[in-house]
Chain A
Amino acid sequence: MLESEFMRLAFATGAVVGVLAPAVGFFLVQRRMSLIGDGIGHTAFAGVALGYLLGISPVFTALVAAVVGAIAIEWLRSRRRTAGDQALALLFYTGIAAGVVLISAAGALNADLFGFLFGSILTVGYDDLTLVAVLGGIGLVTIALLYRALAAAVLDEEGARVAGVPVGALNVLVAALAAVTVALSMRVVGVLLIAALMVLPVIAATRVAWSLRSTLLLSIVFGLASVLGGLTVSYYADMPPGGTIVLIAAGASIIAMCASAPWRSRRSSTRSATSAS
């Protein structure tokens, strides 16, 4: 499998996205904003369409559109101009509608567009890999450096705000990281499925982890395993890579939920015992 250059490129690109997407998704899930990736994905779709219309790189325009959309949703949410889910709905439908109109105007309903919608990791080149590695690396280093601050903001947002932690800036940072992740992951699983790669590994990890840090690390392990496993299965079974990756991540979440059910009941018993003591 790895004798083929396109598979080596796919594995390398997929590995970066497999680590980055759940690492960013971890903070979104803890803030109960699991679906923001979907909203940003739809905005990125409008960005792709704009790129086709203007004749410039769709990845670049998707990146810009995703960042603008993510910051807009955070702004709407934080200023309490609208509830979080309503802000998301506004972004979600505006993005997809703008995308449809722009794609139609550009006359670009073709295979390339479908690659952005559903992923086309087997067609990535060295330029794509470089972009994913550089921006993905910056994202991961940012998370590593600011982990304590980001964790404090999700643990107790109001308490952190009172104590002078720049919660607003950290929330904007997470939204921007989510936007970059969506733009980078378009080629791996497509804009329609990227949110799954940000959320499903975190759901799986949450069910079996024993601390906040272990939840983050297990999310990354599940994300990476889903991407590498999905690529391998898709290669040998001749299946679409994007969908296969997400199905494996979904399977891991379901297994983790089932496996943790008895454990969780034991936890409840322990908790009752602790309360009584």
Chain B
Amino acid sequence: MPLAVELRKLSFAYPQGPPVLRDVDLAVEPGELVAIAGPNGGGKTTLVRVALGLERPTAGAARLFGEPAHRFGRREALGYLAQRAQLGLDAPATVREVVTAGRLPRAGLVGRLGGGDRERVSEAIVRVGLAHVADRPLQRLSGGQQQRAFIAKALAADPELLVLDEPTTGVDVEAQEALAELLGRLHLELEVTILYVSHEFGAIERFVERLVLVRHEIVFDGPPRELPGVWHDPSHVHA
């Protein structure tokens, strides 16, 4: 079975900019839950953007399920929660409307949603624990609930790879814990590959088998318990 994500000798720089990533090697097996941590500006978001084919590497190669990332054909198999993925509009979209948008890659662009697709949308809402607020506008929900709605949106298309970029930004500690537990449970139940990107990894640490620390290059890749003590110091991580 091909690797879910494979980066080989990958480097990336924006035009006229300094290198953001240098000689990155990363191999993620299908079904893994991997936390990608590191300081702000260390290249975490760029790493996942290149891995998802949103940016082309300056050198090296990025592959998704064995195919070049930028030419990956089965895009409906990818679920992505972008950084600060709060609702980008003023209109009061409900949880169900947001999650329904996530079903689009499977349901097709044209016409009304079929019964089976509506069922999958409802299942995704139940799975993240938002059934009681499914028809409520997102603006009336807390930051943690809004993030759950966007996770449900990513789940609605039955993804094989789920990438969450800083999902706990603007979310209180209690909601961070709940979100981490939810991801741990989803990983077990759905056997989906998860890349969890965050500049803090406290809440998720007990659920991940593998932690990758990025500071323009990969400086640590292994089980969180093997992480050298100095990296646990938040001030060091943020440096």
Report the nearest A residue to B85, measured CB to CB: A156
B104 CB contact (under 8 Å) in A32, A165, A213, A267: A165
Within the assembled complex, what's the spacing in Å between the Cα atoms of A159 and B153?
9
Q: Mark A142-159, 1 if CB is under 8 A from B, else 0.
A: 000110110110111111
Q: What are 13 A-to-B residue pairs whose CB atoms are below 8 Å?
A: A156-B88, A156-B98, A156-B101, A159-B80, A159-B154, A162-B54, A162-B80, A163-B75, A163-B105, A206-B91, A209-B91, A212-B97, A267-B139
Chain B residue contacts of A126, Cβ below 8 A: none
Contact status A271-B91, CB under 8 Å: no
B91 to chain A, nearest CB (A): 4
Chain A residue contacts of B112, Cβ below 8 A: 148
Within the assembled complex, what's the spacing in Å between the Cα atoms of A164 and B97?
19
Which A13-39 residues have a C-beta within 8 angstroms of B?
26, 29-32
Within the assembled complex, what's the spacing in Å between the Cα atoms of A165 and B103?
11
Chain B residue contacts of A151, Cβ below 8 A: 97, 101
Q: Mark B124-161, 1 if CB is under 8 A from A, else 0.
A: 00000000010101011111110000100110010000
Chain B residue contacts of A267, Cβ below 8 A: 139-140
- List the interface of chain B (C-beta within 8 A of A): 52, 54, 75-76, 78-82, 85, 87-94, 97-98, 100-102, 104-105, 107, 109-113, 133, 135, 137, 139-145, 150, 153-154, 157, 163, 172
A211 to chain B, nearest CB (A): 5
Interface centre among A32, A151, A163, A274 (most CB of B within 10 A): A163
Chain B residue contacts of A145, Cβ below 8 A: 110-111
A164 CB contact (under 8 Å) in B75, B93, B101: B75
Within the assembled complex, what's the spacing in Å between the Cα atoms of A133 and B216?
57
Contact status B78-A163, CB under 8 Å: yes
Report the nearest A residue to B106, measured CB to CB: A163
Contact status B150-A156, CB under 8 Å: yes
A: number of interface residues (CB 8 Å): 36
A79 to chain B, nearest CB (A): 13
Chain B residue contacts of A155, Cβ below 8 A: 87-89, 93, 97-98, 101
Report the nearest A residue to B78, measured CB to CB: A162
Contact status B137-A211, CB under 8 Å: yes
Chain A residue contacts of B78, Cβ below 8 A: 162-164
A84 to chain B, nearest CB (A): 13
List the 10 shortest-distance A-B pairs measured between CB atoms, nearest first. A164-B75, A275-B142, A152-B101, A162-B80, A158-B82, A30-B89, A149-B109, A212-B93, A215-B91, A163-B105
Report the nearest A residue to B91, measured CB to CB: A215
Within the assembled complex, what's the spacing in Å between the Cα atoms of A161 and B137?
24
Interface centre among A31, A211, A212, A267 (most CB of B within 10 A): A212
Contact status B90-A30, CB under 8 Å: yes
A210 on the B face (CB < 8 A) = yes
B95 to chain A, nearest CB (A): 10
Within the assembled complex, what's the spacing in Å between the Cα atoms of A163 and B153?
11
A154 CB contact (under 8 Å) in B88, B135, B143, B150: B88
Contact status A162-B109, CB under 8 Å: no
B133 CB contact (under 8 Å) in A146, A160, A274: A274
Within the assembled complex, what's the spacing in Å between the Cα atoms of A26 and B102?
20
Chain B residue contacts of A213, Cβ below 8 A: 97
A94 on the B face (CB < 8 A) = no
Within the assembled complex, what's the spacing in Å between the Cα atoms of A155 and B150?
10
Chain A residue contacts of B81, Cβ below 8 A: 159
Report the nearest A residue to B101, measured CB to CB: A152
B72 to chain A, nearest CB (A): 9
Interface centre among B79, B88, B89, B113 (most CB of A within 10 A): B89
B192 to chain A, nearest CB (A): 14
Chain A residue contacts of B142, Cβ below 8 A: 271, 274-275
Contact status A163-B76, CB under 8 Å: yes
Chain A residue contacts of B94, Cβ below 8 A: 210-212
Chain B residue contacts of A162, Cβ below 8 A: 52, 54, 75, 78-80, 163
Chain B residue contacts of A270, Cβ below 8 A: 140
Contact status A212-B92, CB under 8 Å: yes
Chain B residue contacts of A29, Cβ below 8 A: 90-91
Within the assembled complex, what's the spacing in Å between the Cα atoms of A163 and B80?
8
B82 CB contact (under 8 Å) in A149, A156, A206, A211: A156
Report the nearest B residue to A216, measured CB to CB: B91
Known: A271-B139, A274-B142. A210 touches B154 (CB 8 A): no
B105 CB contact (under 8 Å) in A165, A209, A274: A165
Within the assembled complex, what's the spacing in Å between the Cα atoms of A17 and B80?
38
Contact status B85-A30, CB under 8 Å: no
Within the assembled complex, what's the spacing in Å between the Cα atoms of A275 and B91?
21
Report the nearest A residue to B80, measured CB to CB: A162
Contact status A158-B100, CB under 8 Å: no
Known: A209-B92, A274-B142, A275-B142. A149 touches B154 (CB 8 A): no
